[in-house]
Amino acid sequence: MVNRRNFLLRDGPAGALGLAAALGNPSSLRPEGGEKMPPSYYECSFLRLQNGAQASRMLGWLEKRALPLFQKHRFGPAGFFTMDVGPYLPAVFGFVTFPSLAEMEAAWGRVDADPEWATALAELEKGKPAFYREDTVLLRATPFSPPLKPAAPGDPTHKIFELRIYESPTQRQLGFLHDRFAGGEIDIFHKSGIHPVLYADTIIGPNKPNMAYLIPFESEAHREKAWATFRNDQDWIRIRDDSIRRGGEIVRNITNMILTPASFSMIR
């Protein structure tokens, strides 16, 4: 996100289209009711920081320099968060969205060609380092992911978000995980007060195969109550046990992160 020239898909639209063909074409999917599919790809960055001024400096740059350029060049909704609980602290987590791999490359091409981007990068890199390391992953929305909607003016801000990443032993077992979510687990989520804003598989990144989902909560108390309700739901227990009978232990490892949305985040 900070210096896109080093990303794995730097070969341009032709390379992006080739990867899209290899991975299938989820953009043809439509949710029930014929509603247009939401942006299908999420380019995510984990910006590892050092203690001190790096966090405020990075957030200020993202708000005043990066986000306006993303909006100018027609990126989809962008989310920015500080990490409160996770594998690297301090850190900033951010993502930008695109309807296709080809549009992702086209949008970044427009940014790269904009002199304001080079100026913004020079400002960020002037003086002391702005961050310690950037890890970038590419996610693709699952067919059951809801439309990702940016917050409207006046919408209440969620206090925290929870990012959960479920690793499966094999691609086949990831398919069983998809079946479980689409086959009733999401309905139980909603009944329990859990309303993820996206579900997506990692297509470029570590610990594959895996599926990630992002959940807003009004407070930590809301989060604890919702998960307790979910864990004790008899329908969930039945669905979980049935999925294990069909696919074995389809979740090998869970990574859990607690995030606070930045004031300027479009997802908050």
**Could you read off the pLDDT of 200-250 as tens digits, one per residue?**
999 999 999 999 999 999 999 999 999 999 999 999 999 999 999 999 999
- Domain end position, chosen among 72, 107, 141: 141
Average pLDDT rounded to a whole number, residues 149-167: 92
Question: Are 30 and 91 found together in one domain?
Answer: yes
> Over the chain, what is the mean pLDDT?
89
Reduce the DSSP state of residue 200 to 3 states and report it.
strand
Q: Would you state the pLDDT for residue 4?
A: 61
Question: Are 111 and 11 found together in one domain?
Answer: yes
- The rounded percent of the chain whose pLDDT value lies above 90 is 81
Task: Tell me the C-alpha to C-alpha distance, in Å, between residue 41 and each of 50, 57, 168, 202, 214.
Answer: 29, 27, 20, 10, 14
Which runs of E-coded beta strand occur in the chain? 41-48, 79-85, 91-98, 133-141, 160-167, 198-204, 210-217, 253-261
- The two structure tokens encoding residue 147: 């439309």
Residue 154: pLDDT band with limits 50, 70, 90 = confident
Residue 161: pLDDT band with limits 50, 70, 90 = very high
Question: Are 1 and 123 found together in one domain?
Answer: yes
Question: Are 90 and 170 found together in one domain?
Answer: no
Q: Would you state the pLDDT for residue 156?
A: 80
Question: Are 8 and 137 found together in one domain?
Answer: yes
Give the domain range for residue 172.
Answer: 157-263
Name residues whose C-beta falls within 8 Å of residue 2's C-beta, 6 or more positions apart in sequence. Answer: 45, 47, 66, 121, 124, 130, 131, 134
More confident residue, 102 or 15: 102
Tell me, what CATH number does 10's domain have?
Answer: 3.30.70.100
- Domain end position, chosen among 141, 170, 191: 141
235 in any annotated domain: yes
Question: Are 131 and 168 found together in one domain?
Answer: no
- Domain end position, chosen among 141, 173, 199: 141
Q: Would you state the pLDDT for residue 39?
A: 52
pTM: 0.87
Question: Are 232 and 170 found together in one domain?
Answer: yes
Q: What is the DSSP string of 20-37?
A: HHHH--GGG---GGGPPP
**Could you read off the pLDDT of 46-85 as tens digits, one per residue?**
999 999 999 999 999 999 999 999 999 999 999 999 999 9
Domain count, the chain: 2
Q: Find, among 90, 120, 88, the residue nearest to 1 by Cα.
A: 120
